[in-house]
Structure 1
Amino acid sequence: MTATASRVLVLNSGSSSVKYQLLDMADGTRLAAGLVERIGEATSRLTHTPLATGGEVREAEGPIADHESALKAVADELSADGLGLDSPELAAIGHRVVHGGLKFTVPTVIDDAVLKEIERLVPVAPLHNPANITGIRTAQQLRPDLPQVAVFDTAFHTTMPEYAARYAIDVETADAHRIRRYGFHGTSHAYVSRKTAALLGKDPSEVNVIVLHLGNGASASAVAGGRCVETSMGLTPLEGLVMGTRSGDIDPAVTFHLKRVAGMSADETDELLNKKSGLVGLCGDNDMREIRRRIDAGDARAQLAFDIYIHRLKKYIGAYCAVLGRVDAVAFTAGVGENAAPVREAAIAGLEEMGLAVDASLNAVRSGEPRLISPEYARVAVAVVPTDEELEIAQQTYALVSA
């Protein structure tokens, strides 16, 4: 890394998409951002936003065959803005990696051994780690001289005590197959818990926070003094809250029952629980805005889906109050958490005896800034804190390569 290198390119490679941001860590400025969608299809689309110049958003449609082609297209867009990957100001490329197991508890410079371990974890993250690996390998080909850093979704949750992380199954079987609660959305939970402490004017070590990351994927965490002590997702991102297409918590015997009475294979059950359940399974929609529109129109099925979603959310808030003992704040974040006022209101309603309340006028405000939505008298603060996983990844990446 040169003395002047302060830029970090953040890549989030999905199975058919690449999200990216280029940031200058000298001052935290976002220089560019974009998304490549539907990789491998004839209708691929690249959307690029040149933030440094304030120029117009550029969109291009057409076939993008694979991740290598996608990243080369991203590199071309950045070059058009004078921000090419060959710039000496680029310090590193930071990669979101979903599953790091127990081995990776901090951001890690990627070498062959690290990549091999990420590959070894594919069986416990079959939907995510393969895409992350593809993004890493492609970036290595484009800039083999540049540090590539993995920032793991699971890392923040590795501070959970064993009694929270272990499932109550045979220990030898669990250890042999790495079965335990790992948790996900860790970069978001880390970022939001720190931002919530700052909103309260306190150091993270002084604050106990329940973070509710509510997007199409959803998870909760209990953070005590800056350290995760419990989280809702488990071995995979399927456990926990009701999500857009995932069931969340379910009696494991349901899978045996479906095999016995419906003849469903493991893959079919996996498809059901991950892609055809949650809100979409309950009412046919996984967009909370559409669900609320249907509720307002008197749709009973949408109302039931919403009620189930909120009921599960309340259960986790209550459970994590018990785990933490003292709660200073509950923070809502991610797409639904930041934008769906009815979800926040319903999730907190009835919890006044626990010190929780929402001010209706504050809750109705739409803002991109961290803010409190609880009345002054509330014993526990309720906050809306926009997450910024890309900034968190960039900060962790830059701190590592500049140390």
Structure 2
Amino acid sequence: MTKIMAINSGSSSLKFKLFEMPNEEVLVEGSVERIGFKDASFSYKHDGKKVSKELEILNHEEAVNQLLEVLIDEKMIASYDEIGGVGHRISHGGTYYSDATLIDEVVEERIGELSVLSPLHNPVNLIGIRSFKKVLPNTKQVAIFDTSYHHTIPKKNYMYALPYEYYEKYDIRRYGFHGPSHQYVAEESAKLNPTGSKTITCHIGSGASVSAVLDGKSINSSMGFTPLAGLVMGTRTGDIDPQIIPFIQDKEGLSPQEVKDLMNTKSGLLGLSGVSSDYRDVEKAADEGNERAQLALDVFAHQVVHYIGAYAADLNGLDTLVFTAGVGEHSARVRTEITNYLSYLGVEIDETKNQQDELSIESTNSRVKVLVIPTDEEVIIARDVMRVAKLN
């Protein structure tokens, strides 16, 4: 048996699972939230026990150290040498990586280089890698890229209609993101609907994307050159007319960085509603009569419906529709609002099953299997560590 740590670093968070492989038993899982604040939250589940505490964690390196100390103090491991490998979810791998890879100095440099394309994620992903390297210098570390799963997207689907020289010089193309999540739920949906080959997976959370999966391979995905494109998200615009950018920049006198911040951190549900980037808060405000909050929900749902329709065309049909991630897994409302517009595809849900967040929520009359599958990006990470680091 080998112990593998799966790490998912966000801008102010660090999620983790320690697996015993290859049987994929979760020994401990948890997260550090509000990194950078004096009231950061560190919580974990181990051996049937849940622990949560508030403490000062000012950066990701402190978060890693706190996690590793708990593993020893709580006797989850006897020594750090028991951790055979660490896998890191990395947002952007560019054209460099179509698969997970062992991390060395070159890989670190490229992750840093690609931070310009994923400014909310790649920099903290890199901090997580370097923090673990300090404490576990001899442990193999593996990078699992959000973009890798989508390298099967055909060229006609990933090219932008810019002068071709920019693709040749700068690799400007659609990449797609949330790869481990789309991969996991696509694989699970194939088990639940083995005769289906045409699947659309909807990863709906603070970050959100839709993917078209044909025979287990991604052929299109809503995020693009960066994770800013596609769906309306918690704070991100999703698709907009590109001419809006210089227009606002000129009218408001904004710098390029200020425009990037506007589109990445001040838009989406937050910008439309003026309430919050959290879907639950916006939903509550809408129920209380806030018209802008309701508008934000309507725009959000419409964008998901828009992509499902486009990807059903890419797939030339639809066998399975999957909802996953925080909102997709837990909001019956968003699933209802989306599927209400999909009757032309043969989608019909059983509202009782939907309200109970059941695994399979389609009605008996539905021609399409509709699934609610909790994502498990971490198990994809752990499997890739075992394979790439040759730890079997």
**Could you tell me which residue of structure 1 aligns to residue 104 of structure 2?**
111
Equivalent position to 2:219, from 229, 232, 235:
229
Q: Residue 352 of structure 1: CA displacement?
A: 1.5
Deviations 1:307-355 (Å, cap 9, x if unpaired)? 1111111111110010110211110110110111111111011321221
Distance in 2 (CA, whole Å) between partners of 1:248 and 1:20 is 28
Deviations 1:7-63 (Å, cap 9, x if unpaired)? 1111122333322111112322111122223333333332233x2x2234141412x
Stretches of 4+ aligned residues off by more than 4 angstroms: none
Q: Residue 129 of structure 1: CA displacement?
A: 1.2
Q: Residue 303 of structure 1: CA displacement?
A: 1.6
Tell whether 2:53 aligns with 1:59: yes
Deviations 1:257-297 (Å, cap 9, x if unpaired)? 11222222211211111111111111122222232323333
**Could you tell me which residue of structure 2 aligns to residue 276 of structure 1?**
266
Equivalent position to 1:385, from 363, 373, 383:
373
Give the residue type in structure 2 aligned to 1:38: R
User: Are the counterparts in 2 of residues 288 and 340 from structure 1 also a CA contact under 8 Å?
Assistant: no
Equivalent position to 2:313, from 287, 298, 322:
322
Pairs within 5 Å for 1:121-136: 121-136=114-129
Assess, with a 3 A threshold, how the Cα gap between structure 1 residues 10 and 167 changes in structure 2: closer, same or farther: same
Give the residue type in structure 1 aligned to 2:145: F
Q: Residue 400 of structure 1: CA displacement?
A: 2.4
Corresponding pairs, count: 390
**Partner secondary structure for residue 172 of structure 2:** coil
Give the residue type in structure 2 aligned to 1:240: G
Q: Which moved more, 1:263-272 or 1:143-152?
A: 263-272
Deviations 1:151-181 (Å, cap 9, x if unpaired)? 1111001111111111110111233222111
Assess, with a 3 A threshold, how the Cα gap between structure 1 residues 85 and 13 changes in structure 2: closer, same or farther: farther
**Could you tell me which residue of structure 1 aligns to residue 248 of structure 2?**
258
Give the residue type in structure 1 aligned to 2:380: E
**Partner secondary structure for residue 233 of structure 1:** coil
TM-score (norm 2): 0.95
Pairs within 5 Å for 1:325-340: 325-340=316-331
Structure 2 alignment gaps of length 5 or more: none
Q: What is the alpha-carbon root mean square deviation over aligned residues?
A: 1.7
Structure 1 alignment gaps of length 5 or more: none
TM-score (norm 1): 0.92
Pairs within 5 Å for 1:1-400: 4=1, 6-49=2-45, 51=46, 53-62=47-56, 64-84=57-77, 86-202=79-195, 207-284=197-274, 285-367=276-358, 371-400=359-388
Distance in 1 (CA, whole Å) between partners of 2:271 and 2:322 is 27
User: Are the counterparts in 1 of residues 92 and 114 from structure 2 also a CA contact under 8 Å?
Assistant: yes
Q: Which moved more, 1:81-90 or 1:141-150?
A: 81-90
Identity of aligned residues (%): 40
**Partner secondary structure for residue 394 of structure 1:** helix
Assess, with a 3 A threshold, how the Cα gap between structure 1 residues 56 and 213 changes in structure 2: closer, same or farther: closer
